[in-house]
């Protein structure tokens, strides 16, 4: 299911496709990810959202849950009755989609699932990392959403599985080193230290997510055993030592990857690896020590956008490569990635609906 991330000019508009409109639905529209999908689709030239479901906010306006969407003339409906659509985006908690997948694929030509339910390639991994899988027959059919590593398999896909945000940041940071042969299963320890914002916890919240407890934290919330490890290992082909910290921002995931190559590498090698992987990618930027305040990837620089920033530094003393990778967990790490994948699947311009370039200055986005 892995791809090369090269081929075709992703910016070139794809003729007629752009004049067609696809109907779409969003299942689980009150959550943060559902709201982000609705935001992106509302500005997308080729999608028309005909249904957004919510059990808790049935019949209420979308703008009541997502104040940025107050201008949208759309009300939530019950998830019980699904409208037939061209593309169904599901943003429900993990476990829901695998129960309803038969219904989803009957309802829509293309299903894009943003949960973890179809993102791992084998049922055994769900047994190991989750509580098993109730529809394992769909796993092979599902295509991993991240175009940077799976573009070639997306066109025409009818079931697309969005990546996890921390995994996305890590995979985007390390994949070029794997492809360039700097990093492989035999390399030795790879330490990935991730810092994430509070939106990762979802709209539900709890004591640990309350503002007084969550403000100003540097909190180890998954020291070991984070489920995204399984995804990283599945798509990079190697194990990583993975730790996640909650820090004080709302949107954003930043992965710092410490890599110790077998053979010495030069800065030129690294530039080569990253340019080779991302020079033609419409959403990837290489940011590495260019001077000024923003010399490395930062979640702030990509907040609200579908951009991914990667950068690196070399520690000659002990042959360490430090890789930084920053995304907006809600966009590139979830809803933006899903729309990007849908664009590729349907033959639309890749950047359609995803043109927002972010703000400066911006606080804790």
Q: Which residues participate in the annotated binding site?
A: 30-33, 329
Count of other CB atoms within 10 angstroms of residue 244? 22
Residue 218 is classified by DSSP as E
CB of 198: closest distance to a second copy in angstroms? 4
Among 212, 263, 264, 268, binds a second copy (CB under 8 A): 212
74: Cα within 13 Å, side-chain hemisphere: 28
Restricting to residues 213-232, which ones interact with a second copy according to CB under 8 A? 213-220, 223-225
Beta bridge partners of 246: 196, 219
Please tell me whether residue 45 binds a second copy under the rule CB under 8 A: no
Query: Beta strands 253-259 and 191-196: pairing type?
Result: antiparallel
Give whichever of 145 and 284 is closer to a second copy, judged by the CB atom: 284
Among 92, 243, 329, 334, binds a second copy (CB under 8 A): 243
**Rounded Cα gap, residues 34 and 29, in angstroms:** 4
Q: Binding site for NADP(+): what residues are annotated?
A: 30-33, 329
Give whichever of 162 and 252 is closer to a second copy, judged by the CB atom: 252
Residue 2 is classified by DSSP as -
CB of 341: closest distance to a second copy in angstroms? 21
Among 165, 177, 326, 341, binds a second copy (CB under 8 A): 326
Among 92, 301, 334, 337, binds a second copy (CB under 8 A): 301
**Rounded Cα gap, residues 51 and 55, in angstroms:** 13
Restricting to residues 256-295, which ones interact with a second copy according to CB under 8 A? 256, 258, 260, 285, 287, 290-294
**Rounded Cα gap, residues 262 and 215, in angstroms:** 41
Helix, coil or strand: residue 314: strand
Give whichever of 86 and 197 is closer to a second copy, judged by the CB atom: 197
Among 8, 124, 208, 279, binds a second copy (CB under 8 A): 208
| Upstream peptide bond of 249 is cis (omega within 30 degrees of 0) | no
Structure tokens at 343: 């664009």
Structure tokens at 54: 């919510």
CB of 156: closest distance to a second copy in angstroms? 29
Segment near a second copy (CB under 8 A); pick from 21-29, 130-138, 139-147, 309-317: 309-317
Segment near a second copy (CB under 8 A); pick from 10-18, 176-184, 263-271, 300-308: 300-308
Restricting to residues 48-77, which ones interact with a second copy according to CB under 8 A? 64-71
Helix, coil or strand: residue 110: strand
CB-based contact 52:26 (threshold 8 Å): yes
CB-based contact 356:305 (threshold 8 Å): yes
Among left, alpha and beta (phi > 0; psi -120 to 50; other), residue 263 is: beta
Give whichever of 134 and 215 is closer to a second copy, judged by the CB atom: 215
Among 300, 310, 337, 346, binds a second copy (CB under 8 A): 300
Find the radius of gyration of the CA atoms of the chain.
20
Measure Cα distances from 258 to 176, 188, 231, 308 in Å.
Answer: 14, 11, 18, 18
CB of 241: closest distance to a second copy in angstroms? 5
Restricting to residues 164-193, which ones interact with a second copy according to CB under 8 A? 188-189, 191, 193
Question: Which is the catalytic residue, given 159, 161, 165, 236?
Answer: 165
Segment near a second copy (CB under 8 A); pick from 85-93, 150-158, 197-205, 341-349: 197-205
Residue 77 is classified by DSSP as B
Among 109, 122, 248, 280, binds a second copy (CB under 8 A): 248
Residue 331 is classified by DSSP as I
Count of other CB atoms within 10 angstroms of residue 74? 17
Angle at 337 between CA 154 and CA 92, to 5 degrees: 100
CB of 290: closest distance to a second copy in angstroms? 6
Specify whether 257 is catalytic. Answer: no
CB-based contact 68:41 (threshold 8 Å): no
Binding mask 108-147 for a second copy (x = CB under 8 A): ----------------------------------------
Segment near a second copy (CB under 8 A); pick from 95-103, 148-156, 172-180, 211-219: 211-219
Active-site residue set:
165
């Amino acid at each position: 299911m892995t791809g090369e991330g090269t081929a075709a000019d992703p910016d070139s508009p794809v003729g007629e496709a752009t004049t067609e409109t696809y109907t779409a639905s969003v299942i689980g529209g009150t959550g943060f990810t559902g709201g982000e999908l609705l935001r992106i689709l509302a500005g997308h030239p080729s999608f028309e959202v005909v249904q957004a479901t919510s059990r808790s906010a049935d019949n209420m306006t979308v703008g009541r849950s997502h104040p940025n969407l107050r201008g949208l003339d759309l009300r939530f409906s019950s998830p019980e009755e699904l409208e037939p659509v061209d593309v169904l985006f599901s943003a429900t908690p993990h476990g829901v989609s695998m129960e309803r997948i038969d219904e989803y694929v009957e309802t829509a030509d293309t299903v894009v699932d943003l949960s973890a339910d179809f993102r791992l390639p084998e049922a055994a991994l769900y047994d190991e990392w989750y509580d098993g899988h109730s529809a394992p027959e769909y796993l092979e059919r599902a295509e991993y959403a991240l175009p940077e590593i799976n573009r070639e398999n997306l066109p025409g896909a009818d079931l697309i599985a969005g990546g996890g945000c921390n995994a996305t940041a890590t995979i985007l940071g390390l994949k070029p080193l794997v492809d360039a042969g700097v990093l492989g299963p035999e390399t030795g320890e790879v330490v990935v230290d991730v810092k994430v914002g509070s939106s990762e916890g979802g709209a539900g919240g709890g004591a640990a997510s309350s503002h007084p407890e969550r403000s100003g934290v540097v909190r180890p919330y998954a020291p070991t055993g984070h489920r995204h490890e399984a995804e990283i290992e599945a798509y990079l082909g190697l194990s990583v030592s993975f730790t996640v910290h909650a820090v004080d921002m709302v949107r954003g995931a930043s992965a710092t990857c410490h890599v110790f190559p077998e053979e010495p590498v030069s800065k030129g090698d690294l530039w080569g690896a990253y340019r080779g992987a991302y020079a033609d990618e419409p959403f990837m930027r290489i940011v590495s020590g260019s001077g000024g305040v923003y010399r490395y990837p930062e979640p702030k620089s990509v907040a609200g956008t579908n951009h991914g920033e990667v950068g690196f530094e070399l520690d000659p003393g002990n042959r360490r490569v430090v890789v930084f990778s920053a995304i907006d967990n809600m966009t590139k790490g979830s809803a933006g990635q899903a729309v990007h994948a849908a664009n590729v699947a349907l033959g639309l311009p890749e950047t359609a609906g995803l043109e927002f370039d972010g703000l400066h200055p911006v606080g804790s986005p």
